[in-house]
């Protein structure tokens, strides 16, 4: 009998306690039908992080991108508000802009010249006067729900979803608020096209088991504890001196962020905001890994980094920040290489089970979180 990808029995060993558990089977990383179900039950229903508001610093700044097959446009209006729209013309669907840039005063469709203002209102539609019952007021751009937390932009494609603050949970601001992210400046973003499944990349980012092997020349071994959030997040926390954002052989760093409290002042968080955003939060800066799944075997990775305004204003910022870039430019390609290599080993034709390591608790929680959504909740 062929394997039923959506039968809870297929995953009974993933549902076992960590010390007895198997990882998700290979088909979860390769099968189009499993990916399509993830899009429907996860990405179209949850809040998705897509960047920081300071990346769109001025009215007319914009970014267009694909998110799980949906063309998205982020845009700062003349009223300073950042909005999100489905990036297609209400005439016959052409994207209004591509890539990113600045200086937009209107949105002019490149196909038949319909024009929208920066709030999405259709201002003119040439040659439509004789179209019966056509009113420009009915054909504005379709908005996408957008909410921000301390400068981080999240989108939700489900108009019925609850607010972002409830999604992050009551303890999110308590745990992470003292970083004062609203005061940070995004200084760099890098994009990578990866030939791997989005889940494999999340799993890699959320276990320190691979660090001594994959990062043996770049990072020191990490001893982390797990912090389970009340909202849609789970973090690894590592206690240490100094910052985690430079290489193990480096010492010159920026001052610590003023006012850090509790665990924030004691080391580094590696935080997963479900479904697919990872924040590295250390004493002097933060960086993020943002995933845009494109198919079962394609993922766009965006790596951003942000520092406090006072740090960016230092005369030596441009020089010292190179040490931080060196760290990310070494460790992130190491993760990219191993995640893509791992993907090549996923063969649904040879369904041989693996086994999770005791040092991979968040991988286990994350695997079950995915199954809860894709299958509907089934008891662990």
Residues with Cβ within 8 Å of residue 251, at least 6 apart in sequence: none
Q: Which is nearer to Fe ion, 206 or 374 (CB)?
A: 206
Cβ 255 vs Cβ 217: under 8 Å: no
Strand 82-86 and strand 143-149: the pairing is antiparallel
Indicate the DSSP class of residue 142: P
The binder of 89, among ligand FES, Fe ion, none, by C-beta within 5 to 8 A per type, is ligand FES
Q: Which is nearer to Fe ion, 203 or 335 (CB)?
A: 335
> Minimum distance between the CB of residue 214 and Fe ion, rounded to whole angstroms?
6
335 is a contact residue toward Fe ion (CB under 5 A): yes
Q: Which is nearer to ligand FES, 10 or 94 (CB)?
A: 94
Q: Which is nearer to ligand FES, 104 or 168 (CB)?
A: 104
> Minimum distance between the CB of residue 211 and Fe ion, rounded to whole angstroms?
6
> Minimum distance between the CB of residue 126 and ligand FES, rounded to whole angstroms?
8
Tokens of 104: 């937009």
The binder of 81, among ligand FES, Fe ion, none, by C-beta within 5 to 8 A per type, is none
Minimal CA–CA distance to 53: which of 365, 356, 306, 340?
A: 306
Residues at the site binding ligand FES, with contacts judged by CB under 6 A: 89, 91-94, 109, 111-112, 114
**CA distance linking residue 119 with residue 110, whole number of Å:** 18
Q: Which is nearer to Fe ion, 335 or 360 (CB)?
A: 335
360 is a contact residue toward Fe ion (CB under 5 A): no
Query: Buried b vs exposed e over 283-304: b needs ≥16 C-beta within 10 Å?
Result: bbbbbbbbbbbbebbebbbbbb
Residues with Cβ within 8 Å of residue 276, at least 6 apart in sequence: 43, 48, 198, 201, 202, 290, 291, 293
What number of residues does the chain have? 380
207 is a contact residue toward Fe ion (CB under 5 A): no
Indicate the DSSP class of residue 23: P
> Minimum distance between the CB of residue 151 and ligand FES, rounded to whole angstroms?
33
> Minimum distance between the CB of residue 102 and ligand FES, rounded to whole angstroms?
22
Tokens of 64: 């267009």
Q: Which is nearer to ligand FES, 69 or 110 (CB)?
A: 110
| Candidates 134-142, 239-247, 330-338, 356-364; binding stretch for Fe ion (CB under 5 A) | 330-338
Q: Residues in the site for Fe ion, rule: CB under 5 A? A: 335
């Amino acid at each position: 009998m062929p394997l039923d990808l959506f039968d809870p029995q297929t995953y009974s060993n993933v549902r076992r306690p960590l010390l007895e558990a198997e990882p998700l089977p290979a088909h979860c990383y390769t099968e189009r039908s499993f990916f399509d179900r993830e899009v429907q039950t996860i990405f179209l229903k949850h809040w998705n992080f897509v960047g920081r508001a300071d990346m769109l610093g001025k009215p007319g700044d914009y970014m267009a991108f694909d998110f799980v097959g949906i063309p998205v446009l982020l845009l700062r209006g003349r009223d300073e508000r950042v909005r999100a729209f489905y990036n297609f013309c209400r005439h016959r669907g052409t994207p209004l802009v591509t890539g990113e840039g600045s200086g937009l005063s209107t949105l002019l469709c490149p196909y038949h010249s319909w024009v929208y203002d920066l709030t999405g209102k259709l201002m003119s539609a040439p040659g439509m006067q004789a179209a019966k019952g056509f009113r420009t007021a009915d054909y504005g751009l379709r908005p996408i729900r957008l909410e921000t937390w301390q400068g981080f932009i999240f989108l939700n494609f489900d108009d019925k979803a609850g607010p972002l603050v409830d999604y992050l949970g009551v303890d999110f601001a308590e745990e992470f608020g003292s970083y004062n992210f609203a005061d940070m400046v995004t200084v760099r973003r890098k994009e990578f096209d990866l030939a791997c499944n989005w889940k494999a990349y999340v799993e890699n980012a959320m276990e320190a088991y691979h660090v001594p092997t994959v990062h043996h020349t770049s990072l020191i071994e990490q001893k982390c504890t797990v912090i389970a959030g009340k909202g849609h997040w789970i973090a690894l926390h590592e206690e240490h001196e100094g910052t985690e954002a430079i290489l193990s052989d480096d010492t010159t760093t920026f001052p610590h962020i003023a006012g850090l409290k509790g665990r924030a002042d004691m080391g580094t968080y590696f935080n997963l905001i479900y479904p697919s955003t990872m924040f590295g939060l250390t004493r002097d800066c933060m960086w993020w890994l943002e995933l845009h799944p494109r198919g079962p075997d394609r993922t766009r990775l965006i790596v951003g980094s942000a520092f406090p305004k006072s740090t960016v204003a230092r005369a030596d910022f441009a020089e010292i920040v190179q040490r931080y870039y060196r760290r990310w430019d070494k460790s992130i390609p190491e993760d990219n290489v191993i995640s893509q290599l791992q993907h090549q080993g996923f063969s649904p034709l040879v369904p041989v089970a693996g086994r999770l390591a005791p040092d991979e608790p968040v991988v286990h929680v994350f695997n079950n979180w995915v199954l809860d959504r894709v299958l509907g909740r089934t008891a662990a």
